[in-house]
Amino acid sequence: MRLKDKVALITGSSRGIGRAAALLFASEGARVVINYKKSKKEAEKVSSLISSESLVIGADVSLEADVKRLVKETISAFGRIDILVNNAGEIIRPGDWKMDVSVWKQTLDVNLTSAWLMIREVVPHMKKQGLGSIVNLTSTVGLLGVAPVLAYSCAKNGIVALTKAFAKELAPDIRVNGVAPSNVMTDMTLGAGQELIEFMKERTPLKRIAEPEELARAILFLASDEASYITGHTLVVDGGYSLK
């Protein structure tokens, strides 16, 4: 088991990529903290599927007070945090250049500020342990720039810079990496409609949309000791979409 006795805190893990990562991490021996913002029922369902020890904590990770409580409750329950996965995120529409200032600020808070807050709060505990691994979820829209989701693109590009900066700052004991998916078969993608899904399939060299489990495997690799000499890297998992 690649994560035996590790404690992994995964934000936004009641569904989608976070859910898949929580289930995979648990199968590899980790004790998992399942975080949710709204869907407590879904989070508890994930926990019920895990045979190893798990903990369900509701928190809005764009809020400093919630982040502090989330980390405090995790330490109280498990005594340590070995792995942090900053997965929580949301596309808020309309998010193009004509958006309201409130949408711009909310998008950055949910998708970028949240990761900074989580890292800032978790790192002191990782430093006490001496080792740690952080994986941040960014997106190919952050690498390419996509006008209809301008704010989201800017936030996700900020995650790439944040990953590199923290990798330098926290080395050699704490590794920090990123994963950049394109579209993934989550509620967010399904909610966009079949027309967009077919368009994305056509634009993707592998001619399909990724499954959440495929992203979870990439996250697991970077979080585990198999990636022990990798830090500051953003792994693109997009079926070749960004090659266009």
152 included as an active-site residue: yes
- Strands of 234-237's sheet in order across: 54-58, 31-36, 7-10, 83-86, 132-137, 174-181, 234-237
Cβ pair 11, 114 in contact under 8 A:
yes
H, E, C per residue of the chain = CCCCCCEEEECCCCCHHHHHHHHHHHHCCCEEEEEECCCHHHHHHHHHCCCCCEEEEECCCCCHHHHHHHHHHHHHHHCCCCEEEECCCCCCCCCCCCCCHHHHHHHHHHHHHHHHHHHHHHHHHHHHHCCEEEEEECCHHHHHCCHHHHHHHHHHHHHHHHHHHHHHHHCCCEEEEEEEECCECCHHHHHCCHHHHHHHHHHCCCCCCECHHHHHHHHHHHHCHHHCCCCCCEEEECCCHHHC
Catalytic residue among 36, 152, 229, 241: 152
Q: State the catalytic residues.
A: 152
